[in-house]
Homo-oligomer: A and B are copies of this chain.
Amino acid sequence: MARNDTLEMGELTDTAYYILLSLVEAKHGYLIMQTIEEMTDQRFSIGPASMYTTIKKLLASELIKLFEDHDPKRKTYIATEKGIDLLKKEVNRRREMVIHAEAVFNRKGEQL
């Protein structure tokens, strides 16, 4: 968000999270969009505009890189080690967000 570059801060927005997660295994742009839709049962979808702007930023931050493949028509990307590390950190951050909510509701005797 504003006055703060989330990637430089070591944070992933939901969009960046799903793109990076898709790129644990090499994929080209269009396949990333499909993968995310399939993975989330259409609950989360990213259009080309969001995807390509995010890919640019992920490349610039070296969280993903171009993957060598011989197809000149499609650009294929893959997460870097730095990218995987950040992704795992961000999985954990979301886990903690769930735990924080569970703690609040448990204290009230409510379940989630």
Contacts and interface: CB of A to CB of B under 8 A. Distances in A.
Interface of A: 14, 17-18, 21, 24-25, 39-40, 43, 87-88, 91-98, 100-105, 108, 112
* Main DSSP-derived SS at the A contact region: helix
B24 A105 contact: yes
A24 B104 contact: yes
Number of copies of this protein chain within its complex: 2
A24 B110 CA distance: 11
A68 to B, nearest CB: 20
Contacts of A88: 112
Contact of A91 (B14, B40, B43, B112): B112
A21 to B, nearest CB: 6
